[in-house]
Structure formats: structure tokens, C-alpha cells
């Protein structure tokens, strides 16, 4: 019976033994603590690396800033040489432009001077021509002063007007005896006809083209057709011989054209 009672003794009376579950929990707690320690170490190390990186970045920026300061004008770096080269090139361009501008100005001044010289020559030539014209007009007026000049428009398609001046006189002659009208160039009578025509028209001998001198329908009458060298002035002159005095103008026609005038 005694044995039987010992066999059925309650478990609460048995000696206490460690629980397996508690061991597992304790182990897990230890693992968690280790992980926490490791994680904290990583965080700390990562923070140190970040601060080191920031420090390195600041140092790099400081180096770059120093390098830029050294490359500014007034320092001895290579950029100064580049800027110096650019300045020299710019000065050369400005020099070339100044030289070109000077050449253009000189050429312009030369052209203006030449133009002024040509204008002056033209003015002198014009003054001389006007002077000659004035002298010729004065000579003509002197030889015809005191007469009455009659100018009559003409219906002739070749004639612009007919002019008669009562002051016209014989031009004189070196011929004597009975007069014979001669139409051979170089003969004294031919030359005196030309003198009478020049006297009537006012054209000088060196500015007169003789197109024709012919008989005027009578042995002592002649008709001459002449013009200026540029053909702007065209005349037909009627002459009458006066014994002992030479050829005298009777009438002068101002022509529109030479075609059909002789």
C-alpha cells in the first residue's frame, strides 16, 4: 500500500525542472539584443561615413573655388594667356579696320578733289566760250548798228525765219575792173563771198561748214548755205555784188534742216 501511495503522488510534489519553452524564449531575446546592437553599430558607422563625405565635399568645393580664383585675370594661370591672346587679336582686327577706313577716306577725298578739279575746268571752259560768244556778238552788233532788223516767220518747211537788216553793208573787195563771180574754192572772189556770209551769220571761219555756194539767178548774185560745226545753227544767205565795194548781204534765212536746203 505504501508503494501504491508513492506511485500516485501528485506532480506538485515533484522537484521543479527548467521549462524548455523558457529556454527558447531566452535564446530569442538574446538574438534580438544582438541584432539591436549590430543595427545600432551600422547606424553609428553610417553616420560617421556621411559626416566624412560632407567634409570631403566641402574640401572639394573649396579646392574648386581656389582653382577658379587662380584662373581670374591678373593671376599667372593659363586662362590669362588665352585672354591676352584674345586682346591681341582684337587689337589687330581694330588696326585692320582703322587702316581700311583710312584707305576709304583717302580714296573718297581723292575722288572729291578730282571732281572739283574737273568742275573747275568745265567752268573755265564755259567762261571762255561765253567770252568768245560775247566778243563775236559785240563784233556783229558793231557792224550792224543803226539799222532796222526785220524777222519774218516762213511757211517754207525748211525755213524757220527770214531776217533782213538794213545796216548790212558790202564787206569790201580787192578786185577791180569788170567783176566776174567765181565759184572755185581758193579764188579771191570765193574768199570774199565767205567773208560776207560770216559777217551776216556771225559764224567765225573756224566754226563754219560751207555746204554750198551757188549762183543766185543773176551773174552778180550768189546764195550760200552754211552751218556751225555742231550743225545747231544753219543758215542760207543771199548776196548781191556792189561794184568797187564787194559782196553785200541782202537776206538771211534760218534753216530748220539742211536736207533739201541746197
Reported in sequence order, the residue ranges of 85-215 that DSSP labels E, i.e. its strands, are 149-153, 159-165, 209-215
Q: What's the confidence (pLDDT) of residue 35?
A: 87
Which of 138, 137, 162, 139 minimizes the C-alpha distance to 151?
A: 162
**SS3 assignment, position 212:** strand
Which of 141, 140, 160 minimizes the C-alpha distance to 152?
A: 160
Q: State in Å, rounded, how far the first CA of the chain is from the last one.
A: 196
Work out the widest C-alpha separation in the chain, in whole angstroms. Answer: 222
Q: Are 197 and 226 in contact, with CB atoms under 8 Å apart? A: yes
Per-residue tens of pLDDT for the chain, all 262 residues:
444 444 444 444 444 455 678 888 888 888 889 888 888 777 877 665 566 656 655 555 555 455 555 545 444 444 455 556 666 666 667 777 888 888 888 888 888 888 888 888 888 888 887 777 665 554 444 445 567 999 999 999 999 999 999 999 999 999 999 999 999 999 999 999 999 999 999 999 999 999 999 999 999 999 999 999 999 999 999 999 999 999 999 999 999 999 998 8
> Whole-prediction pTM value?
0.47
Amino acid at each position: 500500500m505504501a508503494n501504491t501511495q508513492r506511485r500516485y503522488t501528485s506532480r506538485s510534489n515533484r522537484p521543479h525542472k527548467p521549462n524548455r519553452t523558457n529556454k527558447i524564449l531566452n535564446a530569442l531575446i538574446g538574438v534580438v539584443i544582438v541584432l539591436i546592437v549590430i543595427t545600432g553599430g551600422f547606424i553609428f558607422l553610417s553616420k560617421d561615413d556621411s559626416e566624412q563625405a560632407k567634409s570631403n565635399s566641402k574640401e572639394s568645393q573649396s579646392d574648386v573655388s581656389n582653382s577658379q580664383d587662380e584662373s581670374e585675370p591678373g593671376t599667372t594661370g593659363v586662362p590669362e594667356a588665352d585672354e591676352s591672346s584674345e586682346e591681341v587679336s582684337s587689337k589687330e582686327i581694330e588696326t585692320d579696320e582703322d587702316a581700311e577706313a583710312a584707305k576709304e577716306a583717302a580714296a573718297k577725298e581723292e575722288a572729291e578733289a578730282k571732281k572739283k578739279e574737273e568742275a573747275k575746268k568745265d567752268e573755265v571752259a564755259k567762261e571762255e566760250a561765253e567770252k568768245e560768244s560775247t566778243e563775236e556778238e559785240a563784233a556783229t552788233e558793231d557792224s550792224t548798228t543803226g539799222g532796222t532788223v526785220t524777222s519774218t516767220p516762213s511757211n517754207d518747211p525748211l525755213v524757220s525765219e527770214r531776217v533782213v537788216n538794213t545796216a548790212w553793208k558790202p564787206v569790201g573787195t580787192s578786185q577791180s575792173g569788170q567783176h566776174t563771180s567765181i565759184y572755185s574754192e581758193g579764188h579771191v572772189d570765193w574768199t570774199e563771198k565767205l567773208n560776207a556770209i560770216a559777217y551776216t551769220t556771225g559764224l567765225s571761219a573756224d566754226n563754219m561748214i560751207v555746204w554750198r555756194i551757188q549762183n543766185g539767178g543773176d551773174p552778180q548774185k550768189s546764195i550760200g548755205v552754211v552751218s556751225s560745226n555742231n550743225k545747231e545753227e544753219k543758215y542760207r544767205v543771199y548776196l548781191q555784188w556792189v561794184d568797187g565795194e564787194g559782196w553785200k548781204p541782202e537776206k538771211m534765212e534760218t534753216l530748220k534742216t539742211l536736207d533739201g536746203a541746197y
